[in-house]
Structure 1
Amino acid sequence: MGIPAVEKLADRFMRSGSSEAARSDRRVEFAEFGSDELPDELVVQVLDLHRRIRACAALPESVGRTDCGAAHSNGSLRRTSSALACISAAWDSTVRALSTPSGSAHSTELIALINRLRALEGQIHLYWSRTEAEAESRAVDAIGNLYRCKSLDAVIYGILVEVAGLGFDRVLFSSASGDKWVPRAAYCPTNPLWSQQYLNGLHDAYDLPDAAARLQTAQVDDRDMLHHRSDDQAFELWRRSRSKRFWMIPLSDRGRLMGILHVDCLGDGCGPSRSQFSALRTLGRAVPAIVAHSIARASAPTPMAAIEAGSRDPLASQPNTTGTQPKMEPTLDATDLSARELDVIALMAKGKTNAQIGRRLVITEGTVKSHVKRILRKTDSANRAEAVVKWLQGIPKPSAA
């Protein structure tokens, strides 16, 4: 292939790459989030591509070393965003190499590499889309579970369980009234003691953050909280959590603030992925209607009726559970659940799916479903969330789950 033809082809690839740049801009929009992890088969393809880039004689050695090398060495190629960034950088370098006179001698190899880059990027975006769709599906399932809860206490605690099941480590649910917000319940699936003690001894109400008053989702880090340490006692609430970074999601009913969800992710400091946060927003938008449905079913005023009566807090007429978890009367004792059923419900409380529980306990997914059905029957629960709520209310846990 002659040099003019190669340069023309390179120009076409560069123009087609403009759509990749647009996708890169969209990735920047979610830079504050963590990244969904790629499955092993895609990670293998990314690593193989990295090897091909380093072996390509037409590309400078620095391309393989800097574009993918750093990501490969620290293991971040497993992250969707890192893999896409590596592909984007390799695309630019390969197209530039194709447009140079020296690239003419290796045009076939370079074009094959470009096509491989394009195909792999498409696979990753397809996986990304599927991951987001699956997360949304989990949120929809959670909404259905909450609508079937039989009491307001079960709804409140079920919200915490379902949010944690979307991939969050700790969750705080609060109601809002006027310019104040009131913590109602906290939950950490891996630390029940924290869940029980986090709100103990704290004040009932805290000043409403500006973002919440504007119905805006906010990301808050420890520097923000240290800057506002003298504003109100909510600083003590944060200090107890020792959270490096958390997210605040307002819950509104027809433009009026009803409550707030606070969530965080522990571990290496990486935040929730975009798909996790999208699912959380989907669930959050449904929470006001779910609470209204539960209150109405209990023949109590609906949230809007309470507002029209002068109260902005739809839970104002309900018992205040600040400092404690919602109270429910246990409907079974330890002997009602078998040892295996206790293992299963402990993993259900951590937000695990049937397939994940099966892998953990080395049993089939069908066997897990059978255990779940028996658990629901024994606990007289309409769904998994309600069963977990009842189990967590003082029912003994297995020594290892």
Structure 2
Amino acid sequence: MRPSDIRPAHDGVLSTDLHAEVRSVGTHAEAVLDRPFIEHGVMSTGSAKRILDRVWTVALGELTQLPPTTAPDRIRCLTSLLGTVRDLESRINESRVASSVEVMRSIHRSLVRLQSAKTVDELLTSAAEEVITIGFDRALISTVERGRWNLHTMVIEKDPRLAEEMVAAGREHPPTLDGTLVESDVVDRGEPGLVYDVQDNPRVDRTLVAISGCTSYGVAPINVGGRVMGLVHADAHYARRPVDNTDQSILTLFGEGLGYALARATVLERVSALTTTLSDLTGGAVSPSVQSSSYGLSGREVEVLERMAAGDNNRMIARRLTISEGTVKTHITHILRKLDAGNRAEAVAYWLRR
């Protein structure tokens, strides 16, 4: 990708507790050493380490050059400050390791859940939901075919309507991957990327970024058999943080796992189609699994519809299925569209008549 599109990596944002402690130490050091240390803006792991490193260097420099007549209180103050810095640096490193381990576990759990998908459509729909569980608040899954970027499913738990608007805009005018967009590089090279200054970046789809209002995003390829078949987009818009190298690594791993799941779902879908064809030729009955899939609902959508039929409201459905209410609303929107139902009651009635 071109240097103007992808910026150098920067580390993840600190936890609230560590952020507060680093700022407290920096403020204390400014008073003790009479010079500025605190940086403005969102504090990342990298910026926190820079602050602590500068505090250490200045405090140690003064401590090693103190004259013999220095008051003991001053020596104790500098020594205590150095000890606090080292302790906080150690805790930041431990936090990063623990966070990395948990992220890997989250990705693994997401990919395991995706294995239950029986069709490509179900898989791609579920994949967008799973991206939300691994550290992002907006996710887009797309397919790539004949030089076209085809938006499939977007999940924005805080604003499902915006997600629908984004997908509708993308489907109305599918972006062309002719080298002008950053996504073209991702597809051609099979490599992920981080995109910054999105609203002013000439290599992004202007229609989509205008609707989304995003300032940075990550994108990773979905590779099947050495060929890029789709894209995973995500950002942390509501968290108000730019994407970083950690996000890129997460999306890369997820995209790789999704590629294997996509290959599996493609095979299952072809087998199902072949089974249906053979059943028609032989006059046999269609299997329940095939009959169920004729409604075009994903497995999760069927679960939501079954809970609707049982009389559960959105909150109850969310609790039973261990998903957010926003995700439930997104599923219901998809259900109403696929069943061509005007409201929940019509959808339930249609389902009960199956």
Structure 2 equivalent of residue 117 of structure 1: 85
Task: Give the Cα–Cα distance (whole angstroms) in 2 for the partners of residues 260 and 270 of structure 1.
Answer: 22
With normalisation by structure 1, the TM-score equals 0.62
Structure 2 equivalent of residue 219 of structure 1: 194
Q: 1:97 and 2:96 equivalent?
A: no
Q: How far has the Cα of 1:132 moved from its partner? A: 1.6
Q: 1:336 and 2:307 equivalent?
A: no
Structure 2 equivalent of residue 348 of structure 1: 323
Q: How far has the Cα of 1:216 moved from its partner? A: 2.2
State the SS of the aligned residue for 1:271. coil
Instruction: Report 1:93-242 matches (<5 A).
Output: 93-102=58-67, 105=70, 106-200=74-168, 202-204=172-174, 206-208=176-178, 209-221=184-196, 227-228=202-203, 234-242=205-213
Q: How far has the Cα of 1:134 moved from its partner? A: 0.8
* Alignment: residue pair count: 294
Task: Give the Cα–Cα distance (whole angstroms) in 2 for the partners of residues 277 and 114 of structure 1.
Answer: 34
Specify the code of the residue in structure 2 equivalent to 1:332.
Answer: E
| Contact 1:139-1:280 at 8 Å conserved across structures | no
Task: Give the Cα–Cα distance (whole angstroms) in 1 for the partners of residues 136 and 177 of structure 2.
Answer: 25
| Contact 2:128-2:154 at 8 Å conserved across structures | yes
Task: Give the Cα–Cα distance (whole angstroms) in 1 for the partners of residues 30 and 136 of structure 2.
Answer: 38
Q: How far has the Cα of 1:123 moved from its partner? A: 0.9
Specify every segment of 5 or more residues in structure 2 that has no aligned partner in the other structure, as ranges: 1-6, 179-183, 273-295, 337-342, 345-354
| Contact 1:36-1:274 at 8 Å conserved across structures | no
Task: Give the Cα–Cα distance (whole angstroms) in 2 for the partners of residues 251 and 104 of structure 1.
Answer: 67
| Contact 2:193-2:248 at 8 Å conserved across structures | no
Q: Deviations over 1:335-360 (max 9, x none)?
A: 42534523536971479xxxxxxxxx
Q: 1:393 and 2:334 equivalent?
A: yes
Task: Give the Cα–Cα distance (whole angstroms) in 1 for the partners of residues 140 and 89 of structure 2.
Answer: 37
| Contact 2:218-2:247 at 8 Å conserved across structures | no
Specify every segment of 5 or more residues in structure 1 that has no aligned partner in the other structure, as ranges: 1-27, 302-325, 352-384
Task: Give the Cα–Cα distance (whole angstroms) in 1 for the partners of residues 271 and 138 of structure 2.
Answer: 30
State the SS of the aligned residue for 1:261. strand
Q: How far has the Cα of 1:91 moved from its partner? A: 1.0
- Structure 1 332/47 Cα, relative in aligned 2: closer, same or farther at 3 Å? same
Task: Give the Cα–Cα distance (whole angstroms) in 2 for the partners of residues 269 and 288 of structure 1.
Answer: 29
Q: How far has the Cα of 1:87 moved from its partner? A: 0.9
RMSD (Å) for aligned C-alpha atoms = 3.5
Instruction: Report 1:1-400 matches (<5 A).
Output: 30-31=9-10, 35-40=12-17, 42-43=18-19, 45-46=21-22, 49-50=25-26, 52-54=28-30, 56=32, 59=33, 61-62=34-35, 66-68=36-38, 70=39, 76=42, 79-102=44-67, 105=70, 106-200=74-168, 202-204=172-174, 206-208=176-178, 209-221=184-196, 227-228=202-203, 234-267=205-238, 269-272=240-243, 274-300=245-271, 328=298, 330=302, 331-332=305-306, 334-339=308-313, 340-344=315-319, 348-349=323-324, 391=332, 393-394=334-335
Specify the code of the residue in structure 2 equivalent to 1:164.
Answer: I
- Structure 1 53/224 Cα, relative in aligned 2: closer, same or farther at 3 Å? closer
State the SS of the aligned residue for 1:248. strand
Q: How far has the Cα of 1:210 moved from its partner? A: 2.5
Structure 1 equivalent of residue 3 of structure 2: none
With normalisation by structure 2, the TM-score equals 0.69
Task: Give the Cα–Cα distance (whole angstroms) in 1 for the partners of residues 269 and 69 of structure 2.
Answer: 76
